[in-house]
Amino acid sequence: MIDNYLLEELVTFAETKTLAKTAEKLMITQPTVTRGMQKLEDELGVKLFDRQPNKISLTKAGKLAAKKAQLVLDTNRQFVTDIRNYAYTQKVIKIASIAPGPQIVINDNKASLTANIDLNQKLFDINQVEPALLNHQYSLIITNREIQTDHIESRYLGQEQLYVNLDQFMYLANQQQVTFKELTGLSFVVLNEIGPWKQIIQDNIPNAKFLYQTEYDSMQELTKYTNFPFFTTNITNPSETYDTNDTVKISITNDAATMTFYAAYLKSQRNIVAPLAKKLVNVWPK
């Protein structure tokens, strides 16, 4: 079997027409090119070059060999690309998230992400992101903090905007937007596992009461049969998730009501993980 580097030298010589330019383009020495050409002729048993005292050119057989060599090189490159792409689709990419919003985005778009994804449905501890990546526990972790270290990098994915859903007869329901302060003293029904959002609402709404629900079904029942306010985001669809016939969704204007998410991964796994992160950007709800 003829080595690719010999075919590469032949194709380059056919393009450049001289030994010197061939050596320069391939970043090797001219004697190396000369030896390679002789080796190629020996392996084929065919004269490919017409050698004159001050000139060397391709014979007719050499010109045909150069065209065929180009086809072989193109086929080999396509072979490598196809196998790498297939391996990418077969490799299991383990993903975790510190908040439920990104989990929803992934679950809703798995078909278009074209990757073999293993998504941890439990929320991940934000303080364990870097150790979990370095220990190869996960290939990608979605976090609300940008991470740039010697071994880890992160890519912007998108934002999640918090909304409050209020009973339509409440006075605040007539407004287009509210602040956390305007929600002072209200009682909210809230899912318990909401990641960093839990601390944000507790820190920013004075004197509020939060009726945390561990079960999704319980949360649905309460939103259906009571008038307690509850939270949704631009990622969650309240009309599909809860009974919203008697509620009004209102945006919260505080900076803390917008959370930015990043895909964090090892730099050594960039070729595998970065394409998936790019696709997540494209499907992220605007």
Q: Give the pLDDT score at 202.
A: 96
The backbone torsions φ and ψ at residue 139, rounded to the nearest 5 degrees and listed phi first, read -85, -30
Amino acid, single-letter form, for residue 138: Y
Q: Give the pLDDT score at 87.
A: 66
Give the residue from 257, 283, 273, 279 showing the smallest Cα distance to 154.
Answer: 273
For residues 144, 147, 153 and 154, what is the CA-based torsion angle, rounded to 10 degrees? Answer: 20
| Cα separation, 270 vs 114, whole angstroms | 17
Confidence of residue 199 (pLDDT cuts 50, 70, 90): very high
3-state secondary structure of 186: coil
119 lies in which domain range?
A: 92-158+259-283
Q: For helices 270-283 and 100-108, what crossing angle results, to 10°? A: 90
Domain boundary among 42, 69, 90: 90
| Cα separation, 99 vs 111, whole angstroms | 21
Q: Mark whether 171 and 197 lie in a shared domain.
A: yes
Strand duo 247-252 + 177-178: pairing: parallel
Tell me which of 75-89, 121-135, 157-171 is least confident: 75-89
Q: Mark whether 151 and 26 lie in a shared domain.
A: no
* Region 71-99 average pLDDT: 84
pLDDT at 239 over 70: no
The total number of structural domains that make up the chain = 3
pLDDT at 44 over 60: yes
* Region 161-169 average pLDDT: 93
Q: Mark whether 112 and 62 lie in a shared domain.
A: no
* Region 102-108 average pLDDT: 94
* Region 79-97 average pLDDT: 79
> Residue 157 has which token pair?
């994915």
* Region 41-53 average pLDDT: 92
Q: What is the CATH number of the domain that holds 132?
A: 3.40.190.10
Q: Mark whether 123 and 264 lie in a shared domain.
A: yes
pLDDT digit string, tens, across residues 5-27: 999 999 999 999 999 999 999 99
Q: Mark whether 85 and 110 lie in a shared domain.
A: no
pLDDT at 238 over 60: no
Residue 19 near residue 56 (C-beta atoms within 8 A):
yes
For residues 113, 115, 117 and 123, what is the CA-based torsion angle, rounded to 10 degrees? Answer: -40
Q: Give the pLDDT score at 240.
A: 59
Torsion sign, CA atoms 276, 277, 280, 282: negative
Q: Mark whether 129 and 82 lie in a shared domain.
A: no
Confidence of residue 237 (pLDDT cuts 50, 70, 90): low
> Residue 106 has which token pair?
């992934």
Q: Mark whether 49 and 181 lie in a shared domain.
A: no
pLDDT at 84 over 90: no
Q: Mark whether 123 and 185 lie in a shared domain.
A: no
pLDDT at 97 over 60: yes
pLDDT at 185 over 90: yes
Confidence of residue 195 (pLDDT cuts 50, 70, 90): very high
| Cα separation, 55 vs 223, whole angstroms | 87
Residue 224 near residue 243 (C-beta atoms within 8 A):
yes
3-state secondary structure of 177: strand
